[in-house]
Structures are given as C-alpha cells and as structure tokens.
Amino acid sequence: MFEYFSGVLTFSLIYVIATVGLAVFTGFTGLFSLGHAAFVAIGAYTSGILTYFYQVNFWLALVAGGVMSGLVGVIIGYPTLKAKLRSDYFAIATLGFGEAVRVLLENLDITQGARGLPGIALETDLPTVLVVTIIVLWVARNFIHSRYGRAAIAVREDFTAAEMMGINLFTIRMRSLVFSAVTAGLAGGLFAHYVSFIQPSMFTGALSTQLTAGVVAGGMGSLTGPALAAIVFVAVPEALRVASMWRLVAYGFLLVAIMVFRPQGLFGHQEISWNTWRNLWKRVRSCGTKPC
Amino acid sequence: MFIQTLVTGLAIGGIYALMAVGYSLVFSVLNFSNFAYGSIIMLGAYAGYYILTQMGQPLFVAVLAAIIGSAILAYANEKIAYSSLRRRNASSLYFMISAMGTAIFLENLVYATIGSRFYAFPEVLTRQNLNVLGTSLGILDAFAIVFSSVAIYGLHWFLQNSKMGIAIRAASYDMQVSQINGVNINRLIGLVFLLAGALAGISGVFLGMKYMVYPTMGWITNKAYIAAVIGGLGSLPGAVVGGLLLGVLETFVSAYISSAIRDVFSFSLLVVLLLVMPSGLFGKYLEEKV
Amino acid sequence: MKSKWIALAILAVFALTLVGCGGAKQEDVIKIGHAVALTGDSSMWGIAEKNALEMEIAKINAAGGVLGKKLQLIAYDTRADATEAVNVTKRLVSQDKVAAIIGPGQSGVAIAMSSVTEPGKVPMIGTTPTNPKVTVDDKTNQVRKYSFRTCFIDPFQGTVAAQFATKELKAKTAAVVYDVGSDYSSWLGKYFIEEFTKQGGTIANNEAFRSGELDFRAILGKVKQANPDVIFIPTMQKEAALVMKQARDLGITAKFLGGDGWGSPDLITLGGSAVEGSYFVNLASLDDPDIQKWIADYKAKYNQEPVLPNPVMAVDGLLAVVDAIKKANSADPVKIAEQLEKTKDLPVLTGKLTIDPKTHNPLNKPAVMQEVKGGKFVFKSKVVTQ
C-alpha cells in the first residue's frame, strides 16, 4: 500500500521537476515549446547510458544528464533565440527539434534504437526525488526573484518595452531555456532510474503537451501553481484509473477553458504559500456560520 | 528513378501544400498558429468516410459533407476558443495554447467515442495509375494536384478581387484600422475560418482516400506547419512552395539517403532557413504584433 | 479570491484520491491481474483478450473456483505504453496484491513491467510479447524468474517466414521494409534476414521507416528497381496494409510476407485487393479444429468473432496459472511462479503447454501460416518447433 503511494508520489514529483523548469521558460518569457519531451529524453538517455554501460555513480550520471540536456538547450536555443523568431516560429522549430531528437534515439547504436535500454538500475525513490525537487524549486525561486527573473517577467509582458529598457532579450530567454532544459534533463534521469527501462517512444509530443498543460493550468508566472498542477495531473488519473484518452480529453478542455475564462491559470501569478492554506482553512471554518 | 522520385515528391508535397494553405490563411489574418487545424482535417475525413460508406452516398456528396462539416467545426472552434481572446487582445501565446487544447480535445474525443480503429475509403480512384514520362502517378494524386491547384487559385482570386477578400487582406495588415473603416471584423474572421475549414474538409477526404482514417491522422499537419514556416507564415504562395519543397526534399532523402532519419533533414532545413530568412521564403511579418 | 476555491477543489480531489485508493479487502477471492491495451492502436486485440479472460473466469467460478475461492479479474489499461504499464503493474503488485498477472501483448511493455514484477515477485504471463528478451535478461542472459509467456518467440517466427519464402514461394531475393521505431518490427526483420541468407537467398533491400509514416513510395521506388521475389513486412496491420497498397500502385508484383502483427481483420479492410495472396505467420487460426468450440462460445457470448491470437494466448496463460495455483495449493505469487516453471503437458486451448524452465518459453509451440484469400485469412500450414 505505502509502496504504491510512494510510487505515485515519486512519479508525480518527477513531473513536477520538469514542469517547474518549463514554468520558468514558458511562464516567464512567453515562448511556447512543443518539444520539451526531447530534453527529458536527452537527460534520461545520458544518465541511463552512463549507469547502464559504464557503471557511473547514479548522482553523477543524473547531473551529467542535466548538463547534457542544458548543452543541447544552448545549441538549439542559440540560433532560434538569436534570430528572435516570433513565438509561432519558435514553437514549430521546437516541434521539429522534438521529432529530430527522437529520430536520433531510434537510429543511434548507443541508445539501442527502438529496443531501448532495459534493466537500468532502480535508483530513484521518494527521498531522492524529494531532494531534487526541493533543490529545483529553490533554484527556480531564486532565479525568478533575481534581476534576471524580473527581467524575464518584463519580457513576457511586453518584450518591445523591455528591450527599450535595456534588457537583453536574448540573454534572458537563453538563460530560462537552458534552466528548463536542465530541469527537464534531471527529470529524465530520475524517470529512467524509476521505470528502469527507456525507449524512444516514451518521449513523444504527448509528454511535451502534458508538461505545457501543467504550466498553463497552474498559472503562467507562478512556480508552485504548475508544481501542484503537475501532481494533480499524475495523481488524479492514477487514482481514478480513468482511461488515458479521457484524461487527455480533459487536458484539452482544460487548456481551452483556462485560456477563455482564466488566462492567468488556476493560481495566476500568485504563489501558494502557508498563507494560502491558512486563508483556506479560515474559509472552511467560517462555512458553518455564514454562507459559503 | 530520379524522375519517379521527383514525381512522388511533388505528389506528397502537394498534400502538404493543400494543408499548409488553410493553416496559413488563418495565420494571415489572426497572426497565430492554429494548431487545431489538423484535428479539423481529421474530423472532415471521418465525416466524408461516414457519408460515403455508412450512408452510401456518392463521392461528391461525401466531399461536400466533409467541406460543410469541417467549415462549421472551424467556425465553432473560432467562436468558442479564440473570439474571447481576440476581444481581450491577448498575445499569440494564448491563442496557440487554446488551439493546442482544441486539438488535444477533439482528437481524444474521437479516440474515446469512435475508437482507435483504422478505416479505409473504398477503392474507387486509388488503384488506377497514370503513366507520365515513364513514371507512375496515382490518378488520385493527379486529381489532388489539379483539385488543390483549383482550390488554391480560387482562394487567391477571391482574396484579390472580391470585396470580402480585399477586406480580409486589409485586416491582415491592420485589423483595427480596417475596423474603423467599416469592416465587420467578426463576420470577416468567421468567413476566414469557414474558408479554412472548407479546405480542411477537402484535405481530410483526400488524406482518407490516399491513406486511411484514424484519430491521429491530423498529426501529418505537423509537416504542413513546417512547410508553412518554410514558405513564410501567412503567405499563401509561400505555403504552396514550402509544401512542395518539403515533399520533394523528404522524398529524395528517403530514396537516396535514409527514410528513417528523414525528419532530421526536414528539421535542419527549417532551422537553417529560419537563420538565413527569419520569416521564411515569402513571410510577411518578422516582428510579433504587440 | 477564486484561487482559494480552486485550492479547495484540489484538496477535495486529493481526499477522493485517498478514498478511491482505499479499496475494500476481500480474503475469499484470488485476484488475477490483467495488464492489457484497451485503448490505442492495439486495443482490438486487448479488448478480445479481456473478453476471453472474463468468459473463462466465469466458467471456472461456475465450476466452484480454485481452492474453494472465486477468481477475480482486475484489468487495467496499459495503452500499450511502457510508462503507463509500469504504473499499472505497481498498482497490481503492491496495492491489489494479485496472485499473477496476465499480459501484456507487447515486448517493450513486458520488459518495462518486469522491472516491477521481478522485485515484487509476482509472475507475469505475457500473451504475445514475442521478443526473446522478455523472459531473459538482456545483460546477464539469465532467465527472469517471474516472466513467462504462452507465445513463440521472434527468432522462430522469423525463421518460419524465411523458410516459407525460400521453400514454398521459391524466392531467391527478398526486400525487408520495417519500422525502425518499433522493437518488434526491427528484430523480426533481423531474424528473417539471418535465416533467409542462411537458406541461400539474397536481401535486395533492407528499408526502414519511422512509426506513424503514411507514405512509403520513396522507399518502394527503390524496392521496385531491385525487383525482389518477396517483400517481408514485419509491421503492424496498418503499416503493412499501406505498404502493400502503395507497392501495388507502383506496379510491384512481388509476393508479400508478414508476421503475427498482421493478424487483424483490419488488414483486409485497409489493404483491399492489394493484400490478396499474401502470407503471414500467426500464433493461432480461426480454422484450427482444436478451438472451434471455444470460438463458438465466444461468438455466442459477445456476438462477434474473437480477434486472434491474443485471446487464445491469454486463456492459455490463465489456465497455466490456475494449474499452478492448484499444484502449489496456495495463491502465493512466489509459489505460483515455482509451479509455473514446472508446467508440463498441460492441456490448454491451443494444445498442450510445456514451459521450458531454462527460458520460460513454451516448448513446441506451433506457428500457423495464413494466406489472405478472398478477403479472409485462410489456414495454409502448421509449423512446429524442433
């Protein structure tokens, strides 16, 4: 029983890590990625190959996965962000990038093509993921509260104005992209050592979609909102064991509904803090005395 | 071999072009990527298939039904998912997310209700071939090339000459100014979606006849998006050229290098082209509307 | 302050989650897990599998159950997706505490699931995962203690297809068109090539495409130039039908040959006249006299023909589990696995089942060669492993 719960929670937190990274990118720069699954895949394969073939220490391999993913983020980000592609072009470029990475995974010898890597050591457990989640959330929080973070928000709101204020659009976007690539890579590494088997077909557009859906639903401009959304997206369907297609029907519906009715996302720009819960508790308690 | 590859490439490129045009049409006015387009095409294919096989109607009725069905769906899509964003003057990011949501919703709704089975149109036109310069070209391909040229040319004529078309073109440059000049923007955008939807219906029936009908068939529009970006988003001739270019490139890579790594080439072409020409071959805008 | 309401709603959902997970405990049933693709491209087979298992379990329960207890089937959808399957398996193993798991039908999914069933010590009996690595660990080459299957393996299937090509079809040259994104397809293609060249044939083309591809004319143009005697297409029904259709459109006259991925009636509806006269290896056939009564029962209950071979393989697996429970006189998964390994000459639907303790594969599993004729799958010949 506990095993199962901790399994679901571990799995949810892996999604949280990737979603928080993407929240820093999409939520704070306003660029839309259709290919973040590729970064997850790069992290998963890099760390998986290191522990599987070369018996590298798990933590070392995990970091290597994040770094590798970040490097690829630089390679893909440099031309696309330097050219100041408008967001549609950027989105389609990431779509192509996601596919291209999958093609490579299917054809390289080291990744063993479609058969994937079976029997990667089971290293990811709840404490491991918890530690990484806390680190990622802490770094993300510091990032958005730093000068860069505020600049990023300015870029999202109005990049022309931000640029006129002397903000370097490219640097800001690049840093956020690389941060999101690194976290996606870490999530991938944790995923590989949780499932213990990876193959290219696990990292399709559907994964990118789920990550983006988490950011949008949680609120673009919030960190805790997307984190909570990521947990809900994994835990609820798991608990109800609804067929996955109905889950995806709900994602789609949710995305449109949020854009139409509540574009700031469920939590908007706010963060969930102790205050949120306290206010919530007050509200629940006052339910008895006044209409709620 | 070379000529056969070229003919095949043009035939595949024609499919991309047909889809890229409808997608680019919406972009030219609303300035955002309508990622829901693929699912509208898919539903058009289902509509055509249903009318043709389950109700036993002739092909042209099926095509007509697909056109009308897709047009209505595209119109409804605009009214439900985009019009309130438009009124709020939201940034294109919000439009794209809404469009993606629509695509995920429709596709999985079909999965959940109709199911994941594959359906094929009856073999009416598919099995006949033309001989062109010693190469074989499916009669369906020839039909598609002729038909899509007519559709694309018709659309072009409409945009150039009709009053509504001129209004659309004006709106695509500046929506506010054209509104001040008495253009009913809501009606106009509705019309654009009806037109794009009609094209989606044609594409859907055609794809269904050429290949098959299934819930994720709309994914082939990913290629159309890439084609449209290569050609320059918002430009109809660009969409056609981009589609043909991508189709020929892919076929040559498949035939002479490897089919398995073909998509890496398409993507590299996209990135290189964007570096050299950030707004594609015939693109209109470089900067995003603020 | 809308966000507070939303937070409240989320809290409520969490509470529901806990309730939903708390499931009632029953001591008087033996739970059999079923990891199966009920949605997605493979759902046709998956749904038939589930139907067949439900029918068989109802029959066993009506006859008094096993060890005085009723059997209960717990089926979860894997979507034929490895990640989803791992979650499903965790739930079956650590929450539902099933005695054994029937399924899955896909090799990649089975390999992923074994990362849960091996440490969890619950036997898993795959229905149609034909890759050798499903029951044997890739790195250590040791048999996986808790992984079993009731189907033959790909090297055998590839061999049967290649020998059929050289001996029956008298083919000298062959082309292979396979899906590089599918482990099943790329391995089966490889095994075919090995045997075909061993039989003295030449491989004219070995062409790969990516999963989801719709247009194969670019690679078929190359195949046409090489003009092989047969084209081996080790893919699922959708790609196979499209490849055959487009090959005929290009004027290719070679014979088509395939594996058990073809065995869906969809092949004929999708491929039309192009698939006529092609052959494929399958695990079971509707014409098999041994299973006529079972097919009639299935038809009577569900009002349709079963989509072979998965339901037959699943029932074989269930019968093996029931037998193991009886012999172990316990529903303890570890003891069931011990007995499963010793399964010998057990009468099951497709004949007699003997499990090889060294590989956990069934011994002497026959392959059925089928021909597409007059819009139907027609039994051609039966090949037995040496």
Tell me the per-residue pLDDT of B179-202, one tens digit each, with 9 for 90 and over.
787 778 888 889 989 999 999 998
Residue C88 in this model has a pLDDT that exceeds 70: yes
Q: Does B103 score more than 70 pLDDT? A: yes
At B51-82, the pLDDT tens digits run 988 888 888 899 999 999 999 999 999 999 99
DSSP states of C115-165 as a string?
HHHHHHT--EEESS---GGGTB-TTT-PBPTTEEESS--HHHHHHHHHHII
The nearest CA of chain A is from the CA of C376 a distance in Å of 32
SS3 of residue A57 by DSSP: coil
Across-strand partners of B207? Answer: none
- Please check whether residue A147 lies inside any domain of the structure: yes
How much is the pLDDT for A286?
A: 67
Q: Which of B12, B210, B259 sits opposite C219 (nearest CB)?
A: B259
The percentage of chain B sitting over the pLDDT mark of 90, rounded to a whole number, equals 24
Residues of chain A neighbouring B227 (CB-CB closer than 8 A): none
Are the beta carbons of B127 and C273 separated by less than 8 Å? yes
Select from A80, A93, A255 the Cβ nearest to the Cβ of B104: A255
The pTM (predicted TM-score) of the whole model is 0.87
3-state SS, chain B, equals: CHHHHHHHHHHHHHHHHHHHHHHHHHHHHHCCCCCCHHHHHHHHHHHHHHHHHHCCCCHHHHHHHHHHHHHHHHHHHHHHHHHHHHHHCCCHHHHHHHHHHHHHHHHHHHHHHCCCCCECCCCCCCCCEEEECCEEEEHHHHHHHHHHHHHHHHHHHHHHHCHHHHHHHHHHHCHHHHHHCCCCHHHHHHHHHHHHHHHHHHHHHHHHHHCCECHHHHHHHHHHHHHHHHHCCCCHHHHHHHHHHHHHHHHHHHHHCCCCCHHHHHHHHHHHHHHHCCCCCCCCCCCCCC
* A78 in a structural domain: yes
Nearest C-alpha neighbor of C240 from the set C179, C174, C285: C179
Contact assignment for B212 to C238 by CB distance below 8 Å: yes
Q: Considering CB atoms only, which of C6, C86, C108 is closest to A199? A: C108
H/E stretch holding A3: helix A2-29
Helix axis angle, B185-210 to B2-30, nearest 10°? 160
Residue A261 lies in a domain: no
Residue B168 has pLDDT above 90, yes or no: no
Task: Please state, rounded to an integer, the average pLDDT across all residues of chain B.
Answer: 85
Listed residue (B82, B116, B108, B267) closest to A206, CA to CA: B108
Q: Per-residue pLDDT averaged across B143-170, rounded?
A: 81
Question: With helix as H, strand as E and coil as C, how does C174-236 read?
Answer: EEEEEECCCHHHHHHHHHHHHHHHHCCCEEEEEEEECCCCCCCHHHHHHHHHHCCCEEEECCC
Contacts with A, C 142-181, CB within 8 Å: 179-181
Domains of chain B, earliest start first: 1-119+134-276 (1.10.3470.10)
Other C-beta atoms lying within 10 Å of the C-beta of residue A125: 14
| Lowest model confidence (mean pLDDT) among A129-133, B6-10, C14-18, C255-259 | C14-18
Give the number of residues written for chain C. 386
> Per-residue pLDDT tens for C23-63?
444 568 899 999 998 877 778 888 899 999 999 999 999 99
Q: What is the mean pLDDT of residues C141-155?
A: 89
Q: What is the rounded CA–CA span in Å between residue A223 and residue A140?
A: 8
Q: What is the pLDDT of residue B124?
A: 65
Question: Chain C closest CA to A142's CA: distance in Å?
Answer: 24
Does residue B281 belong to the interface with chain A, where contact is any CB pair within 8 Å? no
Contact B271 A96 (CB under 8 A): yes
**Subunit contact C214:B211, Cβ cutoff 8 A:** yes
Closest CA to B108 of A253, C48, A37: A253
C112 vs A118: CB contact, 8 Å cut-off? Answer: yes
pLDDT digits (tens, 9 = 90+) for C160-217: 999 999 999 999 999 999 999 888 898 999 999 999 999 999 999 999 998 888 889 8
- Per-residue model confidence as pLDDT tens for chain A (292 residues): 677 788 888 989 999 999 999 999 987 788 888 899 999 999 999 999 999 999 999 999 999 999 999 999 999 998 888 877 777 888 888 988 998 999 999 988 888 888 888 888 888 889 999 999 999 999 998 988 888 778 877 777 777 787 788 788 888 889 999 999 999 999 999 999 998 889 898 898 888 888 888 888 888 888 888 999 898 888 877 776 666 667 778 888 888 988 888 877 766 666 766 666 677 677 666 655 555 4
Per-residue model confidence (pLDDT) at position B289: 44
CA–CA distance, A72 with B3 (Å, rounded to integer): 38
Of C212, C222, C270, the CB nearest to B118: C270
Q: Is B264 on the interface with A (CB under 8 A)?
A: yes
The torsion defined by the Cα of B37, B42, B47 and B48, in degrees rounded to 10, comes to 100
Domains parsed from chain C with CATH numbers: 25-152+288-355 (3.40.50.2300), 154-282+369-384 (3.40.50.2300)
For residue C16, what are the contacts with CB-CB under 8 A and spacing of at least 6?
A239
**Residues of A with CB below 8 A from B102's CB?**
252, 256
Alpha-carbon distance of C211 to C182, in angstroms, equals 7
Asked if the structure places residue A69 within a domain, the reply is: yes
% pLDDT > 90, chain C? 41
Most confident of B116-120, B244-248, C87-91: B244-248
| pLDDT computed for residue C21 by the predictor | 47
**Does position B2 have pLDDT exceeding 50, yes or no?**
yes
Which residue is listed with tokens 């990011």?
A: B93
Chosen from C90, C116, C117, C135 to mutate, greatest number of chain A CBs within 10 A:
C90
CATH number of the domain bearing residue A166: 1.10.3470.10
Q: How many domains, chain A?
A: 1
Q: What are phi and psi of B275, to 5 degrees?
A: -70, -40
Asked whether residue A254 is domain-assigned, the answer is: no
Can you give the pLDDT at residue A284? 65
Token pair 């037959």: residue: C312
Min distance B189 CA to chain C CA atoms (Å): 33
In the A/C pair of chains, how many CB contacts fall below 8 A?
127
C40 touches chain B (CB under 8 A): yes
**In this structure, what token pair is assigned to residue B127?**
């099995």
Residue A228 lies in a domain: no
Beta-carbon separation of A259 and B267 below 8 A: no
Would you call C249 and B136 a contact, using CB atoms and an 8 Å cutoff? yes
Tokens of B279: 């707004």
- Which residues does chain B have within 8 Å of residue C276's beta carbon, measured at their own beta carbons? none
> Would you call C264 helix, strand, or coil by DSSP?
coil
C77 CB neighbours in chain A (<8 A) are 241, 243-244
Tokens 């918002």, residue located: B234
Domain region containing A17: 1-204
pLDDT over 70 percentage in chain C: 92
Of C21, C82, C94, the CB nearest to A3: C94
Closest Cα of chain C to A212: distance in Å?
19
- Whether residue A267 lies inside any domain: the answer is no
Read off the pLDDT band of C376 (50, 70, 90): confident
B119 contacts in chain C (CB < 8 Å): 269-270
CB contact under 8 A, A195 and C82: yes
**Cβ within 8 Å of A, B 53-112:** 80-81, 84-85, 88, 90-98, 100-109, 111-112
Check if the beta carbon of residue C191 is closer than 8 Å to that of residue C233.
Answer: no
CB neighbours of residue A110 within 10 Å: 10
The token pair at C3 is: 């966000």
pLDDT reported for residue C283:
87
Q: Do A92 and B33 touch (CB under 8 A)?
A: yes
Calculate the dihedral angle through the C-alpha atoms of B6, B12, B14, B16, rounding to the nearest 10 degrees.
-130
Q: Which of A92, A158, A163, A220 to mutate to test the interface with B (most CBs of B within 10 A)?
A: A92
